[in-house]
Amino acid sequence: MIDRLTIDKIMDATNIVDVVGEFVTLRKAGVNYKGLCPFHDDKTPSFMVSPSKQICKCFACGEGGTAINFLMKHEQITYPEALRWLAKKYNIEIEEKELTDEEKREQSERESMLIINEWAKNYFHDILKTDPDGIAIGKQYFRSRGIRDDIIEKFSLGYALQKRDALATAAMKAGYQAEFLVKTGLCINHEKGIYDRYAGRVIFPWLNVSGKVVAFGGRLLDARTKGVQQKYVNSPDSEIYHKDHELYGLYQAKKAIAKDDRVYMVEGYTDVIAMHQCGLENVVANSGTALSVYQIKLLRRFTQNITLLYDGDEAGIHAAMRGTDMLLAEGMNIKVLLLPDGDDPDSFARKHTATEFKEYIEKNATDFISFKTRLTVENVTDPVKRSEAIGGIVKSISVVPDPILRSTYLSELSQRLGIKEQTLLNSMNGMISKDIEEKIS
């Protein structure tokens, strides 16, 4: 239990603008602040925060209340958990008795899984820093990639020992149940018992937007990847982790994203880490999965501006193309940058300073119209193929929710291709009408 005096100290220290600002990008609006509501699909800012009254309210869906109410609803946590969250944020010490074994068993499955993931993150990280194999193999791998110790700490990178039951043995010795080792995906059931999923791999913990450890990624070391298709193994979907709901690095990046009003989207863990080390912190990765609407909505809380940043090979081009229409439909402003041949964000960041990297992005990033036109229309002489490619770009424009922006994109496409704007407009309107008919039927 948390005593009344401590609760009062927590509430006195709490600033609702700070709390809501951890999850929603807020803009000054007179004496208040406003942003996109995180509780419904908000297209225009309707979520108001009052610093004087210390309350928030959405004037569209009605959700709101105090900082405690906001946290309970947004993070799906209990009242005591919301108090602990605030106490941690404002460095207020809470003295609580240690949970008994019986109390541990009575915790919800979700909370138990989060607890064991937090323990596993610390376990892997400690192995990397103190175990002889962790230092000689795991830490040496990160150093060979040029990753500094402060970045290792920032992302809580770790190492899993090669012994197939090392983590399972340590976890059960610490009092954690095998049931939750399997449910989190840390271990796999076998007829002879359970064994570790990530044995012999370097570890990348996944933190959700509020900093809870929901999953892990494990990478085979370079010496073992030859001929192996699965360099990376990630946590399976579970009660606490759905891969299409999370973005790697968002927790570490969210403040920089809001500050710069832009997010860089890359493909992998090491791309995110290298860019942080370079000095560009507003970066996230979807780590090989197709971008989902849920992930886009998550990003849109912090910014509407996104730059897709991939290497210039065929896979990079494919990654840049997929998800474009979803991003546009959610009101995101897209720029695309394909790095020079032979470079990905990881290698490019290691060779350049943050200033140099930013300058390169500003000089070479293009809007999606230019990107798609150059990629699919230019140098195409076959009339049918050219018409199909232009139709694909018009289709992308048709999903943009803002009619003024749609018109601007059409005008730009008309000038680029030398096609009458009215012709493109007629085509787009036909596509929009067809989409409406399909939704109704």
Interval 178-226: pLDDT, tens: 999 999 999 999 888 899 999 999 999 999 988 899 999 999 986 655 5
The answer to whether 211 touches 246, Cβ cutoff 8 Å, is no
Please tell me what DSSP assigns to residue 229: S
Q: What is the mean pLDDT of the chain?
A: 89
> Please, are residues 218 and 270 in contact by the beta-carbon 8 Å criterion?
no
- Position 184 scores a pLDDT of 96
pLDDT band at 227 (very low <50, low <70, confident <90, very high): very low
Ranked by mean pLDDT, the top range of 229-233, 289-293, 395-399 is 395-399
Q: Is the pLDDT of residue 417 over 60?
A: yes
Round to whole Å and give the CA distance between 137 and 141: 6
Determine the average pLDDT of the residues in 408-432: 93
User: pLDDT digit string (tens) for 15-57?
Assistant: 899 999 999 999 988 889 999 999 998 888 999 999 888 899 9
* pLDDT surpasses 90 at 229: no
pLDDT at 162 over 60: yes
Helix pair 368-376, 403-417: axis angle to 10 deg: 40
Question: Residue with structure tokens 């474009």?
Answer: 324
Evaluate if residue 98 carries a pLDDT over 80.
no
Q: Is the dihedral of CA 125, 129, 131, 133 positive or negative?
A: positive
pLDDT at 251 over 60: yes
pLDDT at 226: 53
Which of 76-85, 106-115, 176-185, 236-245 has the least mean pLDDT? 106-115
Q: How many CB atoms lie within 10 A of CB 377?
A: 19
What is the reported pLDDT for 438?
A: 83
The stretch 100-120 carries a mean pLDDT of 78
Q: What is the pTM of this model?
A: 0.81
Select from 396, 423, 419, 418 the least CA-distant residue to 409: 396
Return phi, psi of residue 93, to 5°.
Answer: -75, 135
The pLDDT value given to residue 62: 93
Check pLDDT > 80 for residue 289. no
Torsion-angle region of 235 (φ positive above 0: left; ψ -120 to 50: alpha; else: beta)? beta
Residue 228 clears pLDDT 70, i.e. is over it: no
Q: Is the pLDDT of residue 328 over 70?
A: yes
The helix/strand/coil state of 350 is helix
d(CA 14, CA 66): 10
Q: What is the pLDDT of residue 109?
A: 84
- Residues contacting residue 42 through CB under 8 Å, at least 6 positions apart: 36, 58, 60
Amino acid making up residue 256: A
Higher-pLDDT residue of 167, 342: 167
Single out the residue of 50, 22, 18 nearest to residue 34, CA to CA: 50
Q: Is the pLDDT of residue 302 over 90?
A: no
Q: Tell me which long-range contacts 432-438 makes (C-beta under 8 A, separation of at least 24).
A: 432/398, 435/398
* Residue found by looking up tokens 């610390």 in the block: 122
Residue 424 · residue 407 · CB < 8 Å: no
Residues facing residue 193 across a β-bridge: 190
Predicted pLDDT at 97 = 60
- Are 331 and 300 in contact, with CB atoms under 8 Å apart? yes
* 340 contacts: CB under 8 Å, gap ≥ 6: 312, 348
3-state SS, residue 215: strand
Work out the percent of the chain whose per-residue pLDDT is above 70: 95
Instruction: Name the residue with higher pLDDT: 434 or 204.
Output: 204
The yes-or-no verdict on residue 99 having pLDDT over 60 is: no
What's the pLDDT score for residue 3?
72
SS3 162: coil
SS3 294: helix
User: What's residue 147's pLDDT?
Assistant: 94
- Structural contact between residues 246 and 214, judged by C-beta atoms closer than 8 angstroms: yes
> Percent of the chain at pLDDT above 90?
61
Q: What whole-number distance in Å separates Cα of residue 54 and Cα of residue 19? A: 10
User: If pLDDT is split at 50, 70 and 90, which confidence band does 230 have?
Assistant: low
Distance CA 12, CA 56 (A): 17
Q: How far is the first Cα of the chain from the last one, in angstroms, to the nearest whole number? A: 55
Cα 3 to chain centroid, rounded: 36
* Alpha-carbon radius of gyration of the chain: 24
Asked whether the beta carbons of 398 and 407 are under 8 A apart, the reply is no
For 27, phi then psi, to 5°, come to: -120, 145
